[in-house]
Amino acid sequence: MVFQAKLTALRKQHGWSQEGLGNQVGVSRQTVSKWELGETTPELEKLIQLAEIFDLSIDELTGHEKQASTKECRNSQRDSALYAWHYEYKSKRTIRGVPLVHIHIGNGFCKAKGIVAVGNIAKGIVAIGAVSLGVVSIGAVSVGLLAFGALALALLLAAGAISVGAVALGGVAVGLLAVGGYALGQYSLGGFAVASRVALGGVAHAHIAIGDKTSGDILFHIHQAHLSQYIHEAILKAYPNIWKPIADLFSTIVS
């Protein structure tokens, strides 16, 4: 609101005539009329008097504060727009109604579903996202045939801080073959390895245990001479149907 409109509104709000307001600031009715018509503006001294009468700052009286507030509002709207951003793309090509590529990222629960899906929550053959589900899945929490993430769950290969899968690699790994700082499985390798069959690690516990500190039925100290040959023979004797690359893995590591 410009000054003349503000002055008129304030005067009427207080129930004063132009003459009555003029008497308070020491000017004529005609001078007040010219102020309200925008023909003239008050001198600084009179402007200060008007501000005191209406108990306002000069900025409020002249409308400058509102302009600043409007600018702040626009900045706030702009900041909100930046915060609430999101991007989405869907390929026109589909397979059985599912987009070949669907990308949906931004703030909030942005879901993507496609053959290749990238999103905050992603589901697809190849899925990449904070939470992802797919044949190949990559994300903070990922589930799939092959899963890679902070928390990875997979039918075949899982790799992550915490991983669960047929083959699991991670800080904490649980699987048929587990490799990690803490490994738990049928066959385990890690700093702390626990297995139902064979374990190799700094601390190892299993039917066949290999490490610095071991417990189980058949024990091998990691610094024992000709260890590779003995381990290989012991594994094949205990588990004659074992998949040969697994037996080779344990004997090769200590060779």
Ranges of each domain in the chain: 3-79, 86-148, 156-253
Residue 83 has pLDDT above 70, yes or no: no
Residue 74 has pLDDT above 60, yes or no: no
Q: What is the mean pLDDT of residues 7-31?
A: 89
Measured over the CA atoms of residue 60, residue 62, residue 66 and residue 67, the dihedral's sign is negative
Q: What is the pLDDT of residue 124?
A: 94
Q: What is the pLDDT of residue 65?
A: 52
Q: What is the pLDDT of residue 179?
A: 96
Dist. CA 237–CA 133, nearest whole Å: 40
Q: What is the mean pLDDT of residues 17-29?
A: 90
Q: What is the mean pLDDT of residues 63-81?
A: 52
Superfamily name and number for 3-79: lambda repressor-like DNA-binding domains (1.10.260.40)
Bigger pLDDT: 101 or 222? 101
Q: What is the pLDDT of residue 254?
A: 78
- Give the least confident one: 29-38, 90-99, 218-227: 218-227
Residue 70 has pLDDT above 90, yes or no: no
Secondary structure class of 159 (helix, strand, coil): strand
Residue 255 has pLDDT above 80, yes or no: no
Q: What is the pLDDT of residue 9?
A: 87
Dist. CA 27–CA 50, nearest whole Å: 11
Residue 213 has pLDDT above 60, yes or no: yes
Q: What is the mean pLDDT of residues 228-246?
A: 92
Q: What is the pLDDT of residue 209?
A: 96
Instruction: Give pLDDT tens digits for 141-153.
Output: 999 999 999 999 9
* % the chain with pLDDT above 70: 91
Question: What 3 state SS string does 72-125 have?
Answer: HHHHHHHHHHHHCCEEEEECCCEECCEECEEEEEECCCCEEEEEEEEEEEEEEE
70 burial via Cβ count (<10 Å: 0-12, 13-18, 19+): exposed
